[in-house]
Amino acid sequence: MDFLDPRKRRLHNIRLMVGYGLVAIAIGLTSIILVYGANGYGINTKTGELIQNGLLFVDSKPAGASIYLNGQLQSDTTSARLVLPAGNYDLAIKKSGYRDWNRKFTLNEQSIARYIYTFLFPTKLTNQNLKVYSSEPQIVTQSPDKHWLLALVPSADPKNIVFDMYDTGKLDQSPAQLVLPAALLSGSTPGRSLSAVEWANDNNHLLLKHSYQGGEEFIIFNRADPAASMNVSRVFGVSASKMSLRNKKIDQLYVFRQEDNSLSLGDVGKATLQPLLTGVLAYRSYGSDLLSYVSSQKVAVGQVMARIWENGKTYPLYTFAAGSKYLLDAAEFQGHWYYVAGSDSADRINIYKDPLSGIKDPTTAKAIPLIALPDSGVGSLAFSDNARFIGAQAGQKFGVYDIETQSRYQYTLAAPISGEMRWMDGHRLVGLSGDSLLVMDYDATNQQVLLPSISGDSVFFDKNYHQLLSLVAVDGGVALQRTDLRAGVDLPR
């Protein structure tokens, strides 16, 4: 029998050892390949050389767009994950019926590049007038969830305060008309004006500022039940220069009086005011117990100090030149708080990361700037919708800081800009250039001239960014216009 034959048993054992050895070698090679692959290494199939790779993530709105790298069509479409050798690349995203999106980038060894925010605009824009008004509406504003759009109907009778309310998900329907009770407004009607301050996070209530001959007052307009709207200036029995919602709710408001530079907290239900701060020149509120503000107290003449108020305690942030306009903002991004402070006269705008941690630390007892945007004459400053970018504008000059990549961009636009550019979303700016809307990425790439408009402030989108809403001059007045941002196969059938 074979298993009793010593020679055959020896050959069998040899075969087993050889087999085990080959398996071990295969496992070892596979492990090495996996480890190298995980660390970004690959093999050049033409030369056999070991190379280091990086990862590229690409997505687009709309999806299903073609990806070109250095002019070569890739087999994947958006959304895609590509393993690429380190190097310089020209990326192009293309889809039939849409304008191309392009970007140059460098992919380093074992690095990741993410271009998942690409937005493709149609080559041909299709417009439809929703309604023609006799003149530009004094107010056009959108709820935070982008569901509701309110337009104040121009009227020859200043006592007649009517809003058109559009459902952005049902733009084929006529707007509902909402009447603001005239009894809520004080003062004489000539010269009266209304402006939108901010929405509550319930998407139902809108804080309005009413300016009239002899004063200013604030109204909380209830779009779901206009009769339940209230004059909060009367509730508190005070004349205020500014009011804002505490924590984006209507039960409490911050009340600022410029005549004595005081800031109080008003409780609507109790009709009471609680003093908070004095010597306030400007302020911004965040959440329920957090403020940043500017004060001229305890600083040299011609200087002001930005401070942070948290739960009743005040902390110094940054001293800079006094100005006619103060730029304050703060936002949370990836678990960290970022603050921005400056003025239109300061030589820089400072950006801080978690400044309260440094201020409260007894070893430092001060906030250290993360970075500065060295631009004087800044007129506007804001975080992008996703809080990743901080943008500052001084006329044609822009400074943008990318928190995620810790990159700073400074550029001057050649195209004439009318007024302020605003964040369209988390990555793009939109505004008026000449008589048309201009959209561009945060670093001024992919500039797109869209369509004529009379206002860069009154530009809105539905929640899916399928529809653009803007104001345009037409025969007989001003039209609220819808523009479909879909094309080709993406159009509804």
Report which secondary-structure segment, H or E, holds 10.
Answer: helix 6-38
Nearest CA to 65 among 48, 46, 80? Answer: 80
- Mark the ranges of the chain whose per-residue pLDDT is less than 70: 1-9, 11-13, 15-16, 18-51, 375
Pairing of strands 87-94, 101-107: antiparallel
Distance CA 200, CA 1 (A): 91
pLDDT at 27: 67
Cβ pair 191, 212 in contact under 8 A: yes
pLDDT at 36: 47
Question: Can you spell out the DSSP letters for 371-430?
Answer: EEE--SS--EEEE-TTSSEEEEEETTEEEEEETTTTEEEEEE-SS--EEEEEESSSSEEE
Distance CA 463, CA 482 (A): 14
pLDDT at 30: 56
- SS percent in the chain: helix, strand, coil, step 5: 10, 50, 40
DSSP 44: -
What values do phi and psi take at 14, rounded to 5?
-60, -45
Pairing of strands 371-373, 477-484: unpaired
Hey, what are 454's tokens? 């009379």
Question: Can you spell out the DSSP letters for 179-216?
Answer: E--GGG--S-STT-EEEEEEE-TTSSEEEEEEEETTEE
- Tell me the per-residue pLDDT of 235-278, one tens digit each, with 9 for 90 and over: 999 999 999 999 999 999 999 999 999 999 999 999 999 999 99
3-state secondary structure at position 19:
helix
Hey, what are 321's tokens? 């030149």
Identify residue 323 by its one-letter amino acid code: G
Hey, what are 426's tokens? 């988390």
Find the angle CA(132)-CA(136)-CA(140) to the nearest 5 degrees. Answer: 95
Name 4's Cβ contacts closer than 8 Å, sequence gap at least 6: none
Distance CA 113, CA 448 (A): 23
pLDDT at 23: 63
Distance CA 306, CA 317 (A): 5
pLDDT at 26: 60
pLDDT at 2: 54
Distance CA 316, CA 250 (A): 29
What values do phi and psi take at 293, rounded to 5?
-150, 165
Distance CA 307, CA 366 (A): 11
Question: Can you spell out the DSSP letters for 133-161?
Answer: ESS--S-EEE-TTS-EEEEEPP-SSTT--
Identify residue 270 by its one-letter amino acid code: K
pLDDT at 50: 44
Distance CA 153, CA 267 (A): 32
pTM, rounded to two decimals = 0.88
Instruction: Classify 146 in phi/psi space as left (phi over 0), alpha (psi -120 to 50) or beta.
Output: left
Which residue do the tokens 């149609």 mark?
Answer: 122
Find the angle CA(104)-CA(109)-CA(112) to the nearest 5 degrees. Answer: 60
- Report the Cα–Cα distance between both ends of the chain, in Å, rounded: 78
What values do phi and psi take at 10, rounded to 5?
-65, -45
3-state secondary structure at position 302:
coil
Name 263's Cβ contacts closer than 8 Å, sequence gap at least 6: 254, 255, 256, 257, 275, 276, 277, 278, 280, 283, 291, 293
Nearest CA to 157 among 185, 129, 197, 132? Answer: 185
3-state secondary structure at position 62:
coil
Hey, what are 184's tokens? 């809520």
Hey, what are 357's tokens? 């941690």
Pairing of strands 50-61, 112-119: parallel
